[in-house]
């Protein structure tokens, strides 16, 4: 064992691996990357590779090993990274041909979930985030290696860090200590503990100690993993979490801002609807705008003005869209330049992008909005750069920078000369072929080339004897042919190959020079890229407004809301045109809360979300789906959805629901918007009702936030009488031929019936069950009428209802079946419920 484990190679391996204990070490060996020991076992398992032993399986102490071909390594590495692992890429850093003994190896890059450059989804950022605390605050620094974007903020507590991160959704988090690591572990994002090595300037002013610390930590980590200068890192943008509307993760999810709740895709979400951007950086900016709605009236109006201008200038807008289609991902191209990985093809794409700028500017010439004017003025076309790139590169250079073919003739005289020499050489070869054929009389004689033997004259085996003696030196014998060289050919070959080799390396040098020149303009190019992105987003918002007939909302300073004929922006596009039923909404100082009743499936949730989405669109600076809208600026939007108990995970979602609600109540202000959708349905009826009532009362007396509360507990509609600013509204449904027809119309006042049973009928429950439920309902309704006619101070009159439940105890199991809210259940919930019912039945 000693001998194998202490070979020079294994020693080298151990000493490198010691520096990267938390990464899989991909150790370059010939054409493979190999992994050893524990790394090998785990990677073989993850990637389903064959596990072998370095010293043979039957060795006394086999060294587990597995490997991947180096040219295919990328795909394997990405799989590991996507699963949250890190990979240290260890390469040969000397030419093996020039070294005796063991080749020197070094880790050239550490690839981690937060710094993976390839396999990027175009329109998404891949953020790495560092968190550090100092002087009672927590700094949060985030960066995207692929775009060079970075941003900084600080908050008061680790809880707030958690919230901010659940909006940013980084791929990897760096912390300095175990406490923070534990506090953030619930996010289920890979966390790395790291130390700051030295401080690094942020390039931004007015930052606090915590932000500075976080940024240094971020920078150090990027630097240590990427192992190169990060010249493309843009100066960090400093923001206050309170500069923007606070959207908690729940709201992002429930309102389906970025992803459809059902499919998890962008399609079916607000982002999916709005993102008609033409460029990748525009797409990323659109996402950021949705995640961070504005609080400043001026900035909202600025965007609205721009959209209005774009809407009225149809042709200019079309021209902009057309032009933007030719724009490449400038932000990432520039990042590649800074990173030193840009190819000539990338630089040509950069040129193509810059060339569009004058067209963009001319399209914007007649548009008067302040913001558009500013964007147009600040778009620097970089004419000198365009000129340089145009002179330097051919129109379609190859991806590789090391094989020539990139530089345009006329750019460099020396290169032209070399190219001419090799070209001349090649035409000389062509004429040689002709003259050799003539001299030998062999018409099939040809001149060929391969890497090992260079240029040769090839004749078929049968014809070989026709060659005169002496002049031809045999080089290679094939099955049917012989290959020869002549002194003349050898001489020319040296010239041609020499010129080619020189031209390739000269091209590379010239290419690097140009790239370095571009590098000097990184910052101004990044500015251009941000301007184009913003323009792209504004054009997209104007397009959406036009396609779906949105109006410009009016921002009011009061706390009044007036929406006339509002629609749910996403659902209306799923339904056939014109089928969505528009609904109005009015809130003011006297009418702060709405209690929404109505049968299941009538549109309560939709109505609430529609309002929240309109409010949000307004604060993104977008037009809104309505006939008219006057809206205040909301500081936060909270959404709470009542859930059924989740038996599978064994966790009481009701408990979670209550904890979350409590938290919302603590943070909400009278400038917030709260949506409570069937809160309390996760527990038994009276519990749930009592809690729901207590929550509404609390918001009314302590918070004063605008609140929409939907419920299928009719009993709660009596709250209107005891809570001053609460009004009942209901979603209308009518009964036709024993079936319920949903009208989706929201009206003042409470709903008269729950219609739950009719919905069950729609869902095709057995007739006997429906009948039994109808009988029970009748009984319940008799009692309820009694309750409602009682004095209002008695509130919901729980005592009376309690007696009802005694009555129902004749068969509790049957009652639970009858009252199941089937239509709102997922198949999984239904299965869980059936499981529970069976367990009860077997008791």
Residue 345 or 753 having the CB closest to ligand ADP: 753
Least distance in Å: CB of 605 to Mg ion?
Answer: 3
Residue 532 or 679 having the CB closest to Mg ion: 679
Query: Should residue 754 be labelled a site residue for ligand ADP when binding is judged by CB under 6 A?
Result: no
Least distance in Å: CB of 749 to ligand ADP?
Answer: 16
Least distance in Å: CB of 572 to ligand ADP?
Answer: 8
Query: Should residue 147 be labelled a site residue for ligand ADP when binding is judged by CB under 6 A?
Result: no
> Residue 601 binds which one of Mg ion, ligand ADP, none, with CB within 5 to 8 A depending on kind?
ligand ADP
Residue 407 or 581 having the CB closest to Mg ion: 581
CA distances from 279 to 271, 361, 534, 790 (A): 15, 17, 10, 64
Write out 78-109 in H/E/C secondary structure.
HHHHHCCCCEEEEEECCCHHHCCCCCCEEEEE
**Binders of ligand ADP among 540-579, rule CB under 6 A?**
571, 575
Least distance in Å: CB of 597 to ligand ADP?
Answer: 9
**Binders of ligand ADP among 710-749, rule CB under 6 A?**
744
CA distances from 180 to 176, 192, 527, 783 (A): 7, 11, 35, 55
Query: Should residue 597 be labelled a site residue for ligand ADP when binding is judged by CB under 6 A?
Result: no
> Residue 287 binds which one of Mg ion, ligand ADP, none, with CB within 5 to 8 A depending on kind?
none
> Residue 606 binds which one of Mg ion, ligand ADP, none, with CB within 5 to 8 A depending on kind?
ligand ADP
How far is Cα 183 from Cα 839, in angstroms, rounded to an integer? 38
- The strand pairing partners of 24, in sequence order, are 87
Residue 363 or 708 having the CB closest to Mg ion: 708
Nearest to 691 by CA among 681, 700, 706, 703: 681
Residue 346 or 678 having the CB closest to Mg ion: 678
Nearest to 621 by CA among 245, 361, 319: 245
Percent composition of the chain: helix, strand, coil (DSSP 3-state, to 5):
50, 20, 35
> Residue 598 binds which one of Mg ion, ligand ADP, none, with CB within 5 to 8 A depending on kind?
ligand ADP
Residue 539 or 608 having the CB closest to Mg ion: 608
Query: Should residue 580 be labelled a site residue for ligand ADP when binding is judged by CB under 6 A?
Result: yes
Residue 287 or 750 having the CB closest to ligand ADP: 750
> Residue 202 binds which one of ligand ADP, Mg ion, none, with CB within 5 to 8 A depending on kind?
none
Which residue from 603, 682, 688, 704 is in contact with ligand ADP, where contact means CB under 6 A?
Answer: 603
How far is Cα 25 from Cα 196, in angstroms, rounded to an integer? 23
Q: Hey, what's the torsion of the CAs at 679, 685, 686, 689, to 10 degrees?
A: 20
Least distance in Å: CB of 606 to Mg ion?
Answer: 8
Taking CB atoms, the residue at the shortest distance from Mg ion is 605
Least distance in Å: CB of 748 to ligand ADP?
Answer: 16
Instruction: Let me know: does 44 contact 34? Beta carbons within 8 Å.
Output: no
From first CA to last CA, the distance across the chain in angstroms is: 63
Residue 240 or 764 having the CB closest to ligand ADP: 764
> Residue 422 binds which one of ligand ADP, Mg ion, none, with CB within 5 to 8 A depending on kind?
none
Which residue from 600, 622, 672, 693 is in contact with ligand ADP, where contact means CB under 6 A?
Answer: 600
Which residue from 143, 598, 682, 797 is in contact with ligand ADP, where contact means CB under 6 A?
Answer: 598
How far is Cα 587 from Cα 597, in angstroms, rounded to an integer? 17
Nearest to 110 by CA among 8, 220, 267: 220
Residue 293 or 598 having the CB closest to ligand ADP: 598
Task: DSSP letter for 723, please.
Answer: S
Where on the chain is the footprint of Mg ion (CB under 5 A)? Answer: 605
Stretch of 162-170, 194-202, 366-374, 594-602 contacting ligand ADP, by CB under 6 A: 594-602
| Alpha-carbon 372 to chain mean position | 27
> Residue 566 binds which one of ligand ADP, Mg ion, none, with CB within 5 to 8 A depending on kind?
none
The footprint of ligand ADP on this chain (CB under 6 A) covers a number of residues equal to 14
CA distances from 400 to 341, 396, 405 (A): 11, 12, 9
CA distances from 514 to 33, 343, 404 (A): 33, 11, 15
Contacts 24+ apart (CB under 8 A), 427-436: 428/492, 429/455, 429/492, 429/496, 432/488, 432/489, 432/492
Least distance in Å: CB of 661 to ligand ADP?
Answer: 18
Which residue from 142, 336, 371, 604 is in contact with ligand ADP, where contact means CB under 6 A?
Answer: 604
Residue 605 or 683 having the CB closest to Mg ion: 605
Least distance in Å: CB of 255 to Mg ion?
Answer: 13
Give the relative orientation of helices 487-519 and 330-339 as an angle to the nearest 10 degrees: 110
CB atoms within 10 A of CB 685: 16
Q: DSSP E strands: which ranges in 670-781?
A: 673-677, 706-710, 726-736, 739-748
Q: Hey, what's the torsion of the CAs at 333, 336, 341, 346, to 10 degrees?
A: 10
Stretch of 201-209, 450-458, 604-612, 679-687 contacting ligand ADP, by CB under 6 A: 604-612
Question: Residue 113 has which token pair?
Answer: 């979930």
Query: Should residue 602 be labelled a site residue for ligand ADP when binding is judged by CB under 6 A?
Result: yes
Query: Should residue 581 be labelled a site residue for ligand ADP when binding is judged by CB under 6 A?
Result: yes
Residue 20: which residues within 8 A CB-CB, separation 6 or more?
A: 88, 107, 110
For 56, counting Cβ atoms within 10 Å of its Cβ (0-12 exposed, 13-18 middle, 19+ buried), the class is: exposed
Query: Should residue 661 be labelled a site residue for ligand ADP when binding is judged by CB under 6 A?
Result: no
CB atoms within 10 A of CB 350: 25
Residue 50 three-state SS: coil
Residue 285 or 691 having the CB closest to Mg ion: 691
Residue 176 or 728 having the CB closest to ligand ADP: 728
Least distance in Å: CB of 752 to ligand ADP?
Answer: 15
Taking CB atoms, the residue at the shortest distance from ligand ADP is 603
Q: DSSP E strands: which ranges in 315-403?
A: none
Residue 734 or 775 having the CB closest to ligand ADP: 734
Query: Should residue 605 be labelled a site residue for ligand ADP when binding is judged by CB under 6 A?
Result: yes
Which residue from 601, 633, 760, 777 is in contact with ligand ADP, where contact means CB under 6 A?
Answer: 601
Q: How many CA atoms lie within 13 A of 812 on its CB side?
A: 9
> Residue 176 binds which one of Mg ion, ligand ADP, none, with CB within 5 to 8 A depending on kind?
none
Least distance in Å: CB of 617 to ligand ADP?
Answer: 17
Residue 291 three-state SS: helix
Residue 843: which residues within 8 A CB-CB, separation 6 or more?
A: none
Instruction: Let me know: does 426 contact 495? Beta carbons within 8 Å.
Output: no
How far is Cα 534 from Cα 281, in angstroms, rounded to an integer? 9
Residue 337 or 641 having the CB closest to Mg ion: 641
Residue 603 or 680 having the CB closest to ligand ADP: 603
Residue 225 or 710 having the CB closest to Mg ion: 710
Residue 432 or 565 having the CB closest to ligand ADP: 565
> Residue 602 binds which one of ligand ADP, Mg ion, none, with CB within 5 to 8 A depending on kind?
ligand ADP
> Residue 636 binds which one of Mg ion, ligand ADP, none, with CB within 5 to 8 A depending on kind?
none
Instruction: Let me know: does 190 contact 113? Beta carbons within 8 Å.
Output: yes
Least distance in Å: CB of 607 to ligand ADP?
Answer: 7
How far is Cα 626 from Cα 567, in angstroms, rounded to an integer? 6
> Residue 154 binds which one of ligand ADP, Mg ion, none, with CB within 5 to 8 A depending on kind?
none
Stretch of 140-148, 431-439, 603-611, 640-648 contacting ligand ADP, by CB under 6 A: 603-611
Name the residues that contact ligand ADP, by CB under 6 A: 571, 575, 580-581, 583, 598, 600-606, 744
């Amino acid at each position: 064992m000693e001998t194998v484990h202490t070979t020079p190679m294994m020693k080298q391996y151990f000493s490198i691996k010691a520096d990267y204990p938390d990464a899989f070490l991909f150790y370059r060996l010939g054409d493979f990357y190999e992994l050893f020991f524990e790394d090998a076992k785990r990677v073989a398992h993850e990637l389903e590779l064959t596990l072998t032993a370095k010293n043979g399986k039957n060795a006394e102490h086999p060294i587990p090993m597995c490997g991947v071909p180096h040219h295919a390594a990328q795909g394997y590495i990405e799989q590991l990274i996507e699963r949250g692992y890190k990979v240290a890429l260890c390469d040969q850093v000397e030419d093996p041909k020039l070294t005796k003994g063991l080749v020197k190896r070094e880790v050239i890059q550490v690839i981690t979930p937060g710094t993976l450059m390839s396999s990027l989804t175009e329109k998404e950022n891949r953020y790495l985030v560092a968190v550090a605390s100092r002087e009672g605050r927590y700094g949060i620094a985030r960066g995207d290696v692929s775009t060079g974007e970075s941003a900084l903020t600080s908050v008061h507590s680790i809880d707030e860090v958690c919230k901010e991160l659940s909006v940013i959704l980084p791929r990897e988090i760096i912390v300095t200590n175990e406490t923070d690591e534990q506090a953030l572990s619930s996010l289920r994002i890979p966390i790395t503990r790291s130390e700051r090595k030295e401080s690094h300037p942020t390039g931004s002013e007015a930052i606090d100690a915590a932000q500075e610390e976080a940024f240094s930590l971020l920078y150090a980590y990027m630097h240590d993993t990427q192992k190169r200068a990060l010249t493309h890192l843009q100066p960090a943008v400093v923001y206050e979490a309170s500069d923007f509307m606070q959207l908690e993760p729940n709201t992002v999810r429930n309102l389906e801002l970025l992803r459809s709740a059902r499919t998890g895709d962008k399609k079916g979400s607000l982002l999916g609807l709005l993102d008609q951007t033409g460029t990748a950086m525009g797409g990323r900016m659109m996402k950021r705008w949705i995640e961070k709605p504005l609080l400043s009236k001026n900035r909202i109006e600025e965007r609205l003005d721009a959209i209005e201008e774009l809407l009225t200038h149809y042709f200019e807008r079309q021209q902009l869209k057309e032009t933007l289609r030719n724009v490449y991902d400038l932000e990432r191209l520039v990042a590649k330049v800074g990173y030193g990985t840009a190819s000539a093809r990338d630089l040509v794409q950069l040129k193509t992008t810059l060339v569009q700028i004058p067209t963009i500017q001319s399209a914007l010439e007649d548009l008067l909005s302040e913001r558009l004017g500013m964007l147009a003025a600040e778009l620097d076309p970089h004419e000198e750069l365009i000129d340089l790139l145009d002179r330097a590169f051919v129109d379609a250079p190859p991806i590789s920078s090391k094989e020539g073919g990139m530089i345009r003739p006329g750019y460099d005289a020396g290169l032209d000369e070399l190219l001419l020499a090799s070209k001349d050489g090649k035409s000389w070869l062509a004429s040689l072929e002709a003259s050799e054929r003539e001299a030998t009389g062999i018409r099939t004689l040809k001149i060929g080339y391969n890497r090992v033997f260079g240029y040769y004259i090839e004749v078929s085996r049968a014809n070989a004897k026709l060659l005169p003696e002496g002049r031809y030196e045999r080089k290679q014998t094939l099955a049917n042919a012989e290959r020869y060289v002549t002194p003349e050919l050898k001489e020319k070959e040296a010239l041609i190959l020499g010129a080619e080799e020189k031209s390739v390396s000269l091209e590379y040098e010239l290419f690097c020079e140009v790239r370095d020149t571009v590098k000097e303009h990184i910052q101004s190019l990044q500015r251009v890229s941000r301007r184009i992105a913003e323009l792209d987003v504004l054009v997209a918002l104007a397009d959406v407004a036009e396609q779906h007939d949105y109006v410009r909302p009016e921002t009011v300073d009061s706390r009044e809301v007036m929406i006339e004929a509002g629609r749910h922006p996403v659902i209306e596009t799923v339904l056939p045109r014109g089928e969505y039923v528009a609904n109005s909404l009015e809130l003011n100082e006297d009418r702060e809360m709405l209690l929404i009743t109505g049968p299941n499936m009538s549109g309560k949730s939709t109505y609430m979300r529609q309002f929240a989405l309109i409010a949000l669109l307004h604060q993104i600076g977008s037009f809104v789906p309505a006939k008219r809208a006057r809206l205040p600026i909301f500081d936060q939007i909270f959404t709470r959805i009542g859930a059924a108990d989740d038996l599978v995970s064994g966790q009481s979602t009701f408990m979670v629901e209550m904890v979350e609600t409590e938290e919302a109540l603590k943070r909400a202000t009278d400038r917030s918007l709260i949506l409570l959708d069937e809160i309390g349905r996760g527990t038994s009826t009276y519990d749930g009702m009592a809690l729901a009532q207590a929550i509404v009362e609390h918001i009314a007396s302590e918070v004063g936030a605008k609140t929409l509360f939907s419920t299928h507990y009719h009993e709660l509609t009596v709250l209107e009488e005891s809570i001053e600013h609460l009004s009942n509204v209901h979603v209308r449904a009518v009964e036709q031929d024993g079936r319920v027809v949903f009208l989706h119309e929201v009206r003042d006042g409470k709903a008269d019936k729950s219609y739950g049973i009719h919905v069950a009928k729609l869902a095709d429950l057995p007739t006997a069950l429906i009948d039994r439920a109808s009988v029970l309902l009748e009984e319940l309704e008799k009692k309820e009428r009694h309750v409602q006619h009682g004095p209002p101070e008695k509130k919901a009159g729980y005592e009376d209802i309690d007696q009802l439940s005694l009555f129902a105890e004749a068969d509790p199991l049957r009652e639970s079946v009858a009252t199941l809210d089937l239509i709102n259940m997922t198949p999984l919930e239904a299965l869980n419920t059936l499981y529970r019912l069976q367990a009860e039945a077997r008791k």
